[in-house]
Chain A
Amino acid sequence: MQSINVVNIDPNEALQTTDGSMTEARRQLEVCNACRYCESFCSVFPAVNRERTFSEATITQLANLCHNCRGCYYACQYTAPHEFGINIPKVLAEVRQNSWQDNAMPAFMAGAFHRSGAALAVAVVIGFALLLWLINQLPQSMNANLGEGFYSQLSHNAMIAIFIPAFLLPVLAIAISVRRYWRSVGGTQLQLSHIKAALASVAKMRNLAGGSGEGCNFEDEDRFSNARRWYHQATMIGFLLCFAATSAGTLMHYLFDMQAPYPLFSLPKMLGVSGGVLLSIGTLGLGVLKLQADRDLADRRVWGGEMGFIILLFLVSTSGLALYVLAASPWLPELLAFHLGSVLAFFVLMPFSKMVHGFYRLAALLREQQLQ
């Protein structure tokens, strides 16, 4: 009679190499597939139940489909101390993290910044110093080009010269990574219906709804709560509004020759201020919830990096709002340098931070639509 080796039931003994997590995820998913009690919580379990065996591509796709709502963990009769030691949120978080880091370009950067909040902080400090130096240096040489408002500190052209490459290159790196992911999970030609369904899922954060609409089991064990869902959407919508504000400003500048500073009742200001407020509230909420949540139901390696990323987004939004409120302050150069420096750090590190989760999740939701 063959005996069954039960792998990794000690939560402290992390088998977090790509192979180790993959093997452990496969073992656990086979238990799930024999149980099926969690079928209605989210998109992961119906996808599990379609399979008979679990390839690496399937497990990677399932891992990116998982939104870490944790409903399945608290509902599971096989969590430790049971010898089956099921912890799907944790093992899928590890596989997911490995897939982001393995597909990242260049990969070594991903290893550092995903894990370390300190590394993110250093990046912000460097961004701040760089911008402060530019603000102090450039006016002398480019005096003629200076404009009003913030442009009196740093010219529009200088900002564009820094931020266009600092935005486009990371976006390109993410595009390449997600394309690698898409190919590895067997993605095919997209149809409009797939895109519509996947975006609808994002808009409602359906996978954090817990199946019944009462949310996830995140900050207080098995209590269902929509707090994380709402804070996430505030963060996401706030971010998109800020992005729209910047885009609107750029269009107004180049197409209509309307230059900043803009009045409050203008598109960039309305989008930017409301986005900034939402982003600040959302990230603050997510940070607080993250402090309350059990760290053993996620990838422990990256807690610091994830928290650092939330704080970075919070600093970007609150410093942006502070600039609006304190535009006449004598500290304007420092404040502007801090804001632009943190925005710079955020952009440059997008491919190597929690920011990639949005792109991978969307890809996973699209793939799930194709597989359904």
Chain B
Amino acid sequence: MIQQAKTYDLVVIGGGNAALCAAITAAEHGSTVLILEGAPKPYRGGNSRHTRNFRCMHQEPLAVLTDRYTEEEYFEDLLKVTKGKTDEKLARVAIRGTEESYAWMEAHGVRFQPSLSGTLSLSRTNAFFMGGGKALVNAYYRTAFKLGVEVMYEAQVTHLERCGNRIEAVEFTHQERSHRLTPKAIIVASGGFQADLDWLASAWGPAAKNFLIRGTPYNKGAVLRDLLDQGAESVGDPTQCHAVAIDGRAPKFDGGIVTRLDCVPFSVVVNNAAQRFYDEGEDVWPKRYAIWGRLVAAQPEQVGYVIIDAKSLELFMPSVFPPIKADSIEELAEKLTLPPEALQNTIEEFNAACRPGQFHPTELDGLATDGISPAKTNWARPIDTPPYYGYSLRTGVTFTYLGLKVDETAQVQSAEGPIENLWAAGETMAGSILGQGYLAGFGMTIGTVFGRIAGKEAANYAKH
């Protein structure tokens, strides 16, 4: 173990949005800061690399944001998705912090762009980053370097040494050697544990081994576990995570946004026995995509198959892999390795249950099936126009909710009270606010607002 000769006021663990907001803020408050980023430079930034916007309240049109989005409406939206499982105090701190954060982000190099094509429904609530999350991360690293923040890539933190209500030391490995640092304060911003499939399996059961991880392979939760083992208080349910149904051919890790499939509402979805299992047309896709991760996870081998016909091919955003194409349902079944006869029956039964009516792809059209279970309650049109197309679906985990319990100053709590020199920001404490469900752009809200709070608090602590 090498005791680092150089001392820092503050060590920030993690290298994504929350970590960078914290490091920049602390440096501007006069702290000397070292960032320990577990990933190599090309993969720096954690899940922030894959993000695209942040949800922002505003009283009147604000740059790229249209109309207004008040604190109350924002909070109500959060209540809806979490079904009340949130900490109102912390949630309001996050929400109120967004309006002022917009200007802060711009001042620190982030550039915004109007809502992307295909996402008009978010133009009022979500400010999109020009170039996406990696561009934001790049801009923050540049800003941090200018402020004298130091960064070590591929620095894996192995242990935080807790003595009473303090963290005395940070141990990490870098270039195959162990190091030890004794900063005045520490900020943990190293995400959830979703890339540790064994941990996921211990919460979810063996099914979790079939999950795909949409983001960084580096979020294994090592620091989270180490702190929980040493009595840091946890929040959030280990089985809760943000999970969506994505293209089954996506890479095991890091597939990001392009692996999503938006065609479920216009389709029939079956499991590997070619049986339907849920109402594909329950609601518009932005309100339903997040439940399909769980629905698919509950099916045998954690896989689903989306079947559409030629009528629907252009009704949804293109995805990264071309669909499997066939001229008959039987041929499609063979290509998808589904039992052909069973699929044929399922589709015939579904088609017979479709009723005439007006089809409106962009709104709830009430075009429902009659006499089958589960019913499809909107957009139910027969699958009868070749060529037919199919995609496989798997559960794609974005991030886990089990995290560190913090107070409104982002300080980490233990059974014996707050740990006086330890703060947390970003996904590693998001479970405090997101008990379940997800709101687009809210992860970046939590990371930005609590990253800045943690940076300021830690810097003030380090001064005294």
Decide: A78 and B258 in contact? CB cutoff 8 A: yes
**Contacts of B396-445 to chain A: CB distance below 8 A:** none
Q: Is B238 an interface residue (CB 8 A)?
A: no
B132 lies within 8 A of A37 (CB): yes
| Residue from the set A37, A39, A72 with the largest chain B CB neighbour count within 10 Å | A37
Cβ of A34 within 8 Å of any chain B Cβ, yes or no, is yes
Residues of A close to B314: CB separation below 8 A: 52
Tally of contact residues, A, Cβ under 8 A: 36
Known: A2-B324, A4-B321. A77 touches B117 (CB 8 A): no
Q: Which residues of B contact A36 (CB under 8 A)?
A: 116-118
Contact yes or no, B254 A37, CB < 8 A: no
Q: Quick check: is A1 within 8 A (CB to CB) of the other chain? A: yes
Residue of B nearest to A75 (CB): B131
Tell me, in angstroms, the Cα distance from A334 to B395 when the chains sit together: 74
Distance from B254 Cβ to chain A, minimum over Cβ atoms (Å): 6
Given A1-B337, A77-B133: A40 and B117 interface contact (C-beta under 8 Å):
no
**Cα of A35 to Cα of B335 in the assembled complex, Å:** 27
Q: Once bound together, how far apart are the Cα atoms of A214 and B433, in whole Å?
A: 36
**Contact residues, A25-45 vs B (CB, 8 A):** 30-31, 33-41
| Separation of A8 and B139 alpha carbons in the complex (Å) | 29
| Chain B residues with CB below 8 A from A38, complex form | 131-132
CB of A70 to closest CB in B, whole Å: 11
Give the shortest distance, in Å, between A234 (CB) and chain B (any CB). 26
CB distance from A372 to the nearest CB of B (A): 13
Q: Which of A35, A52, A222 sits near B257, CB closer than 8 Å?
A: A35
Q: Is A143 an interface residue (CB 8 A)?
A: no
Residues of B within 8 A of A249 (CB): none
Return chain B residues, CB-CB under 8 Å to A17: none
B319 touching A77 by the CB < 8 A rule? no
Residue numbers in A under 8 Å from B317 (CB-CB): 34
Q: Is B184 part of the contact surface with A, judged by Cβ < 8 Å?
A: no
Q: Which residues of B contact A39 (CB under 8 A)?
A: 113, 116-117
Minimum Cβ distance to chain B for residue A19 (Å): 19
Q: Which of B114, B139, B336 contacts A40 (CB 8 A)?
A: B114
- C-alpha gap A138/B398 in the complex (Å): 79
Once bound together, how far apart are the Cα atoms of A174 and B392, in whole Å?
Answer: 50
Let me know if B111 and A212 touch, CB within 8 A.
Answer: yes
Residue among B251, B256, B336 facing the most chain A CB atoms (10 A cut-off): B256
The residue in chain B whose Cβ has the minimal distance to the Cβ of A32 is B258
In the complex, the chain B residue whose C-beta lies closest to that of A220 is B142
**CB <8 Å contact, A31 and B130:** no
Q: Of the 9-residue stretches A79-87, A113-121, A281-289, A299-307, which lies at the interface with chain B?
A: A79-87
Q: Whole-angstrom distance between the alpha carbons of A83 and B116 in the complex?
A: 25
Q: How far is the CB of B130 from chain A (nearest CB, A)?
A: 6
User: Chain A residues near B251 (CB, 8 Å)?
Assistant: 83
B333 to A: closest C-beta gap in Å: 12
B49 within 8 A of A: yes
Give the CA-CA distance A83 to B258 in the complex, in Å. 13
Q: Given A1-B337, A40-B114, A52-B314, is A74 in contact with B138 using a C-beta cutoff of 8 Å?
A: yes
Complex alpha-carbon distance, A35 and B368, angstroms = 32
Set B42, B118, B248: member contacting A79, Cβ < 8 A: B42
Q: How far is the CA of A2 from the CA of B49 in the complex (A)?
A: 29
Chain B's interface size range is 35 or more
Q: Is the CB of A34 within 8 A of B319?
A: yes
Q: Are A3 and B249 in contact (CB under 8 A)?
A: yes
Contacts of B113 in A (CB 8 A): 39-40, 211
**Complex: A38 Cα to B258 Cα, angstroms:** 13
CA A33 to CA B116, docked complex, whole Å: 11
> Are A31 and B337 within 8 A (Cβ)?
no
Q: What A residues does B318 contact at CB under 8 A?
A: 30, 33-34, 52
Once bound together, how far apart are the Cα atoms of A41 and B392, in whole Å?
33
Tell which of B130, B321, B337 touches A212, judged by Cβ atoms closer than 8 Å: B130
Verify if B50 is at the interface (C-beta below 8 Å from A).
Answer: yes
Q: Measured between alpha carbons, how far is A3 from B247 in the docked complex, in Å?
A: 12
Which chain A residue has the least Cβ–Cβ distance from B53?
A37
A31 close to B132 (CB less than 8 A): no
Give, as a whole number of angstroms, the nearest-CB distance from B51 to chain A.
Answer: 9
A1 touches B392 (CB 8 A): yes
Kindly list chain B residues whose C-beta atoms are within 8 Å of the C-beta of A33.
318
Whole-angstrom CA separation of A40 from B115 in the bound complex: 10
CB pair B258 A34 closer than 8 Å:
yes
Closest to B392 in A: A1
Counting CB contacts under 8 A, is A76 at the interface? yes
Within 8 Å of chain B (Cβ to Cβ): is A139?
no
Q: How far is the CA of A46 from the CA of B118 in the complex (A)?
A: 12
Are B135 and A4 interface neighbours, CB within 8 A?
A: no
A253 within 8 Å of B by Cβ? no
Partner of B256, one of A1, A78, A212: A78
Cα A41 to Cα B139 in complex, Å, equals 15
Question: What residue of chain A has the Cβ atom nearest to residue B116's Cβ?
Answer: A36
- A16 contacts the other chain (Cβ, under 8 Å)? no
Question: Among A71, A72, A77, which residue has its beta carbon within 8 angstroms of that of B49?
Answer: A77
Contact in complex: B142, A223 (CB < 8 Å): yes
B130 and A41 form a contact (CB under 8 A): yes
B139: chain A residues at CB < 8 Å are 222
Say if the beta carbon of B320 comes within 8 Å of chain A: yes
Pick the contact of A72 from B43, B131, B249, B254 — CB < 8 Å?
B131
Among all A-B residue pairs, the 7 with the closest Cβ atoms: A75-B131, A37-B132, A40-B113, A75-B135, A34-B258, A222-B138, A34-B320
A-B contact pairs, 25 of them (CB 8 A): A3-B249, A4-B321, A31-B258, A34-B260, A35-B257, A36-B116, A36-B118, A37-B116, A37-B131, A37-B132, A37-B133, A37-B257, A41-B131, A49-B117, A71-B135, A74-B138, A75-B130, A75-B138, A77-B49, A77-B133, A78-B256, A211-B113, A211-B130, A212-B111, A223-B142
New contact pairs (11) apart from A4-B321, A77-B254, A222-B142, CB-CB < 8 Å: A3-B249, A30-B322, A33-B318, A34-B318, A35-B258, A36-B118, A52-B318, A75-B132, A78-B256, A84-B320, A223-B142
